[in-house]
Chains A and B, each alone.
Chain A
Amino acid sequence: MTTLFYILAYLAIAGFFCLVFLKVKSYLQASPLHVRWEIYPVPHEGEKASYGGSFMEEKEWWTKPRHVDYFGDVKALLAEVLFLQSTFEHNLKLWFRSYPFHFGMYMLMGGTIIVLLSAIAQTFGASPDDGGMIFVGNIINAVVLVSSLCIIGGGIALIHHRRTNEGLKRYTTPEMYFNIGIFVVFGFFGLFAWIVAPSYFVTARGFLYNLITFNFAPQPDTWFALHLLVGYFLLIWIPLTQMAHFFMKYFTYHDIRWGDEPTTYSEKNKRIIPNALKYAVTWASNHITGGAGSKTWLEVATSNPAAPKTPREWNP
């Protein structure tokens, strides 16, 4: 049973990364190149970004070197991820509920990384009882308490909001309630584990230490074990649902909303376009294939469905 508990942990972690990989791969493989579909403001436009301007405001922009302010992108993405800026600006009521929920998760994720680093330090001989470790432990214990409360409070508030707001209610599916609910359960188990354990940090570090040293020692704390089991489930479940937005947002922002690179500056795109035009189109409408087989995009684009038809030669 104990070994199974650890095996599940390895499977959940591996499963999470595999599913994320598959999601990203499927996004990247959907098309060799998609159209530009940017929306301004685009934050990598430097000074122009402050009012939503673009390189296309410049006279003969194609004769100038391309400037991309990557720092602007990073700043905007961080503001969005860490502060939920769009929701703050456009849906404040929701933000008051959603932000604690997300902030709780960020803290828990950050805390997990620190605990993992502590466990790794321990494998390299750091004493579990030295002053630094105790200091980190105190911080983690505080973080876990706050983050559990944020997840529980934010999650319940979100469910309540979705139940009572007429607009939201119509769009909220059973799965969405389930998704938020399972996080609330996760938060509660974490909170109980925090309450019953002398130090949540020590329990968590012990578990991670065992995990990285393949020491399948029994897990003494039931609440912590339940907390972890729900965590394993979430690792697999998140990438399978719309919650995968937490990593796919990189693409929807960076590649789509801000994806303004003109072909002028991309040798790669110059090569891709002629190849993509070889794809076979099977759209059936009269002005495309008329339902008869397929044509390449090139054939479609170079044909004129409205051109007067050449009269057939009379052939008695």
Chain B
Amino acid sequence: MKDNLQLADVSIVEGQMVSIDLARIPDLSIDVAKKPWKPVTDEHRENTCCILDEVCVLNIPRPKNRVEEEELVNKFLDGMRKLFTTENNWVFLPLLETSMEYCVQCNSCSNACHLYEMSGEHEMYRPNFRSEIFRRIYKQYVKKESLAKWRYGDMGLNWKTVTRLGELAYRCNLCRRCAQTCPIGVDNGLLAREIRKIFSQEMNIHPRELHEKGTMNQMKVGSTTGMTPDVAKENVEFIDEDYSEISGVGIHTPFDVHGSDILLLHNAGEVMAWPENIAAFSLIFQEAGLSWTLSSKAMAYDGVNYGVFYDDTQTARIALQHMLAAKELGVGKIVIGECGHAHKALTVIADRLIPFEFQVPRESCYVTLRDIVMSGRLKLDPARNDFPVTLHDPCNIVRLMGIVEPQREIVRKIAPKFREMPCKGVDNYCCGGGSGFAIMTRNNIEEWRGNITGRKKMWQIAEAFKDCLGQETRKYICAPCSNCKGQIREILEHNDLYAKNNFSYGGLVELIVNAMSNASPGFIKWEGEE
């Protein structure tokens, strides 16, 4: 296993290319364990191309012979050629080409990346590492530029290069913090996503959580959670009942109300994992007297769009269905619930994908909630939120949409002990679950999220609460994004931080309901509370 990793090693090294040494991973002031990597079984190694590091996201079947090896390489090259055609990639081509052509290899992006930092500055995690391999393959084997080897550096191309590059595209949260710092405007996050596209769109290779269980499931039954429209409606009815009791306010979540002002688009994962979030939204919208509805149409009761993590065609299909459902209901606008990638997919990406006549205006729930809270339509008692609160900035909503202040205005108004994390707002760090990893737990992905990807966020959280870490003080991590909550929950749970540090976590709406004078107190729960 190489320590002194060179770019060309991806095509040369036999077996597992790198091993991330846990001893080099930084320690934190809170107890976030470095979990030993589970050994990769011989069977797994024999059958899949698990040859990059300890993690294996794609599980690419190992080619059995020369013919299969060549087939893999050729398919990859076919995909790469298509990626650079207007017909197949008009949506991203100019962005892709500039990122391929103008990098000056200054490494300014390295320090921006939390994976690079938290892997102990491992060479493989430089944002530019995978990009440079990709560029060299393109120049040498697709563009076939004369003097390519001299000009851009030599890169061997074989099944190992291809499969390692595929895996490398999944050693990135697509948070684009690196792109924010690049002096040229090169985007390594974009390149990681473009590589994912070749694998998905040309080679039928995708993480099953994103594709089979994700977008395909959403298109088959209506939601990535597997809930059919009837089940979703039923579950929301149960939530209404339960939380009417808990909050002491009768909650009724409307479905399919034609002509409402607002279609609220939740991440359906909330229904299953964080029902309090669904209830809190309903309670707030109801008490504020909004005209709103959910949709029970397949795909439209689930705002997620995993396509944005790996595949343009799936992105377009799902975004279109979201828009059509809103059109059908004749609503004035779509308000997107606490889900970062759903925000970006439908507001920003879909904006130039879906013909304008099929579009319905989209607003972030942070903005809608700010309007409700600041207009005084709710009776709020900030004293009920008399515990330290910090705010996580989901990359997709903050760095990539510029929605920074609305959520802060709310928290400042209702949480007197609010404190910012270091590196706040558009300078934030990804939670560690970004780009689909929050829902993956196999093949050391879980260990990886705790050891590397989610570590910087835990550093931010620890810094924000450094005056009150420990068991004495209750603390609330406000993470208004479903995927981010999933990631944070896992780290808190696995490291017993609920008990050790008296943390609770949740969204923005829970914090608002917790301060609502007409609801029973104690909407937010801490360890040991029912």
Query: Which A residues are closer than 8 A to B by beta carbons?
Result: 26-42, 45, 48, 51-62, 80, 84-87, 89-91, 94, 98, 167-168, 170-176, 242, 244-245, 248-249, 251-253, 255-257, 260, 262-264, 269-270, 273-274, 276-277, 279-288, 297, 300-308
The answer for the CA separation of A304 and B333 in the assembled complex, in Å, is 25
Q: Which residue of the partner chain, among B94, B106, B204, B368, contacts A286 with CB atoms under 8 Å?
A: B204
Q: Report whether A52 and B399 are in contact in the complex, using a CB–CB cutoff of 8 Å.
A: yes
Q: Report whether A273 and B108 are in contact in the complex, using a CB–CB cutoff of 8 Å.
A: no
The 8 A CB mask of B391-427 against A (1 = contact, 0 = none) is 0000000111111111000000000000000000110
Query: Would you give 16 A-B contacts (Cβ < 8 Å), ordered by A?
Result: A39-B176, A48-B405, A51-B426, A59-B367, A59-B370, A60-B363, A84-B183, A170-B6, A248-B102, A252-B98, A270-B356, A273-B354, A285-B201, A287-B313, A301-B313, A306-B220
Residue of B nearest to A86 (CB): B183
Q: Report whether B186 and A252 are in contact in the complex, using a CB–CB cutoff of 8 Å.
A: yes
Q: Which residue of the partner chain, among B105, B182, B201, contacts A86 with CB atoms under 8 Å?
A: B182
Smallest CB separation, B74 vs chain A (Å): 11
Q: Report whether A249 and B216 are in contact in the complex, using a CB–CB cutoff of 8 Å.
A: no
Q: Report whether B102 and A30 are in contact in the complex, using a CB–CB cutoff of 8 Å.
A: no
Q: Report whether A33 and B90 are in contact in the complex, using a CB–CB cutoff of 8 Å.
A: yes
The answer for the CA separation of A26 and B101 in the assembled complex, in Å, is 12
Q: How many inter-chain contacts with C-beta < 8 Å in the A-B complex?
A: 271
Instruction: Tell me which residues from 298 to 338 in chain B have a Cβ below 8 Å from any Cβ of chain A.
Output: 313-314, 316-317, 320, 333
B202 close to A (CB within 8 Å) = yes
Q: Which residue of the partner chain, among A98, A167, A260, contacts B110 with CB atoms under 8 Å?
A: A167
Q: Report whether A306 and B151 are in contact in the complex, using a CB–CB cutoff of 8 Å.
A: no
Decide yes or no: A91 and B107 within 8 Å by CB, A56-B401, A56-B403, A286-B204 being known contacts. Answer: yes
Q: Report whether B102 and A57 are in contact in the complex, using a CB–CB cutoff of 8 Å.
A: no
The answer for the CA separation of A302 and B126 in the assembled complex, in Å, is 39
Q: Report whether B368 and A59 are in contact in the complex, using a CB–CB cutoff of 8 Å.
A: yes
The 8 A CB mask of B106-122 against A (1 = contact, 0 = none) is 11111110000000000
Q: Report whether B402 and A48 are in contact in the complex, using a CB–CB cutoff of 8 Å.
A: yes
Q: Which residue of the partner chain, among B102, B123, B404, contacts A53 with CB atoms under 8 Å?
A: B404
| Chain B neighbourhood of A288, CB < 8 A | 201, 313
For the complex of A and B, 4 pairs with smallest distance between CB atoms:
A252-B185, A54-B402, A52-B426, A86-B183
Instruction: Tell me which residues from 352 to 387 in chain B have a Cβ below 8 Å from any Cβ of chain A.
Output: 352-356, 359, 361, 363-364, 367-368, 370-371
Chain B interface bracket (under 10, 10 to 19, 20 to 34, 35 or more): 35 or more
The answer for the CA separation of A59 and B367 in the assembled complex, in Å, is 6
| Chain A neighbourhood of B353, CB < 8 A | 35, 273, 301
Q: Which residue of the partner chain, among B93, B204, B220, B367, contacts A31 with CB atoms under 8 Å?
A: B93
Q: Report whether B316 and A301 are in contact in the complex, using a CB–CB cutoff of 8 Å.
A: yes
Q: Report whether A39 and B352 are in contact in the complex, using a CB–CB cutoff of 8 Å.
A: no
The answer for the CA separation of A170 and B176 in the assembled complex, in Å, is 23
Q: Report whether B219 and A304 are in contact in the complex, using a CB–CB cutoff of 8 Å.
A: yes
Smallest CB separation, A100 vs chain B (Å): 15
The 8 A CB mask of B66-106 against A (1 = contact, 0 = none) is 00000000010011001000111111111101100111111
| Chain B neighbourhood of A245, CB < 8 A | 102, 104, 184
Q: Report whether A39 and B399 are in contact in the complex, using a CB–CB cutoff of 8 Å.
A: yes
B351 close to A (CB within 8 Å) = yes
- A-B contacts besides A27-B97, A52-B404, A56-B364, 19 pairs, CB < 8 Å: A38-B400, A51-B404, A52-B402, A54-B401, A54-B402, A56-B363, A90-B108, A91-B107, A98-B106, A167-B107, A167-B110, A167-B123, A174-B151, A242-B104, A252-B185, A255-B94, A256-B185, A288-B201, A301-B313
Decide yes or no: A306 and B216 within 8 Å by CB, A39-B399, A51-B404 being known contacts. Answer: yes
B282 close to A (CB within 8 Å) = no
Q: Which residue of the partner chain, among B87, B151, B349, B405, contacts A175 with CB atoms under 8 Å?
A: B151
Q: Report whether A80 and B183 are in contact in the complex, using a CB–CB cutoff of 8 Å.
A: yes
| Chain A neighbourhood of B364, CB < 8 A | 56
| Chain A neighbourhood of B153, CB < 8 A | 173
The answer for the CA separation of A280 and B153 in the assembled complex, in Å, is 34
| Chain A neighbourhood of B110, CB < 8 A | 167
Q: Which residue of the partner chain, among B181, B363, B399, contacts A89 with CB atoms under 8 Å?
A: B181
Q: Report whether A273 and B107 are in contact in the complex, using a CB–CB cutoff of 8 Å.
A: no
| Chain B neighbourhood of A176, CB < 8 A | 104-105
| Chain B neighbourhood of A42, CB < 8 A | 402
Q: Report whether B351 and A262 are in contact in the complex, using a CB–CB cutoff of 8 Å.
A: yes
Q: Report whether B317 and A35 are in contact in the complex, using a CB–CB cutoff of 8 Å.
A: no
Smallest CB separation, B305 vs chain A (Å): 13
Residue of A nearest to B409 (CB): A57
The answer for the CA separation of A256 and B102 in the assembled complex, in Å, is 14
| Chain B neighbourhood of A264, CB < 8 A | 356, 361
| Chain A neighbourhood of B218, CB < 8 A | 306
Instruction: Tell me which residues from 26 to 50 in chain B have a Cβ below 8 Å from any Cβ of chain A.
Output: none
Q: Which residue of the partner chain, among B220, B317, B403, contacts A54 with CB atoms under 8 Å?
A: B403
| Chain B neighbourhood of A59, CB < 8 A | 363, 367-368, 370-371
Decide yes or no: A300 and B352 within 8 Å by CB, A60-B363, A281-B88 being known contacts. Answer: no
| Chain B neighbourhood of A84, CB < 8 A | 183
Smallest CB separation, B343 vs chain A (Å): 9
| Chain A neighbourhood of B150, CB < 8 A | 173-175
Decide yes or no: A307 and B220 within 8 Å by CB, A27-B97, A242-B104, A263-B351 being known contacts. Answer: yes
B180 close to A (CB within 8 Å) = yes
Smallest CB separation, B388 vs chain A (Å): 22
Q: Report whether B220 and A45 are in contact in the complex, using a CB–CB cutoff of 8 Å.
A: no
B152 close to A (CB within 8 Å) = yes
Most buried by A among B181, B314, B402: B402
Q: Report whether A283 and B201 are in contact in the complex, using a CB–CB cutoff of 8 Å.
A: yes
Decide yes or no: A263 and B356 within 8 Å by CB, A30-B97, A53-B404, A282-B87 being known contacts. Answer: yes
| Chain B neighbourhood of A34, CB < 8 A | 90-95, 352
Decide yes or no: A273 and B403 within 8 Å by CB, A60-B333, A248-B102 being known contacts. Answer: no
| Chain A neighbourhood of B186, CB < 8 A | 252
Residue of A nearest to B206 (CB): A285
Residue of B nearest to A308 (CB): B220
The answer for the CA separation of A35 and B187 in the assembled complex, in Å, is 14
Q: Report whether B200 and A35 are in contact in the complex, using a CB–CB cutoff of 8 Å.
A: no
B128 close to A (CB within 8 Å) = yes
Decide yes or no: A57 and B405 within 8 Å by CB, A39-B399, A257-B185 being known contacts. Answer: yes
B348 close to A (CB within 8 Å) = yes
| Chain A neighbourhood of B361, CB < 8 A | 60, 62, 264
B191 close to A (CB within 8 Å) = no
| Chain A neighbourhood of B88, CB < 8 A | 279, 281-283
B253 close to A (CB within 8 Å) = no
| Chain B neighbourhood of A167, CB < 8 A | 107, 110, 123, 126
Smallest CB separation, A101 vs chain B (Å): 12
Smallest CB separation, B222 vs chain A (Å): 10
Smallest CB separation, B393 vs chain A (Å): 10
